[in-house]
Amino acid sequence: MIPRVSGFSIAELELREPDSGWGLFEIGQVNWSTESGRLDVVMSDNLGELCLSFVEPISFRSQDEGDMIDYWAVRQDEDIDVAPLYSIEKSAYLAGLSGNAVSSFNGKLSHWLVAGNNQCVEVITYAENCPTVVETERY
């Protein structure tokens, strides 16, 4: 049985509050580098840019935030506030990856959701590889 989406948690990462009415940033770029083994998600608002970096992600995908109704319903059911970054305990994406992978994974996997005004990026990493954030102010 594929698990439904559950276990939304606002990620414990120091992010400033977005300068927008929705409480989210605009996602402007998603950059994957095989050379560095890093996935960078660049978000912005009127105050500047934030870059969330994921080291050696197992998998990632980007989609329109409107196509993720199940995610938003669960977040609301679990009474979790709107935030730019969540960790998700169970999802079909995580279960499908864990159960159908050709290679075996050595360790626990984590599912991250970067939520933006215009799109969302889901990232699967090893649990010990928490994202980092770099902020650039707009002058």
In a domain, 58, yes or no: yes
Tell whether 66 is covered by a domain. yes
Domain total in the chain: 1
- Look at residue 5 in the predicted model and tell me its pLDDT: 83
- 122 within 8 A of 34, measured Cβ to Cβ: no
Q: How confident is the model at residue 105 (pLDDT cuts 50, 70, 90)?
A: low
In a domain, residue 1? The reply is no
Mean pLDDT for 29-50 is: 93
pLDDT at position 19 over 70: yes
Alpha carbon distances (Å) from 11 to 73, 101, 137? 18, 26, 22
- Is the Cβ–Cβ distance between 124 and 99 less than 8 Å? no
Is residue 35 one of the residues assigned to a domain?
A: yes
- State the average pLDDT for the chain: 86
pLDDT band at 99 (very low <50, low <70, confident <90, very high): low
Q: Are 74 and 4 in contact (CB under 8 A)?
A: yes
Tell me the three state secondary structure of residue 18. Answer: coil
Is 1 a residue whose pLDDT tops 60? no
Residue 64, in any domain of the structure: yes
Residue 123 in any domain: the answer is: yes
Phi (first) and psi of residue 77, to 5 degrees: -60, -35
Q: List the domain range (segments joined by +) for residue 10.
A: 6-137
pLDDT of residue 22: 76
Count CB neighbours of 42 within 10 A.
Answer: 18
Q: List C-alpha distances in Å: 65 to 53, 56, 69, 94, 119.
A: 20, 24, 8, 18, 5
Q: What is the pLDDT of residue 60?
A: 96
pLDDT of residue 30: 96
User: pTM for this one?
Assistant: 0.87
Is the per-residue pLDDT at 23 higher than 90? Answer: no
- Does residue 129 form part of some domain? yes
pLDDT at 103 over 60: no
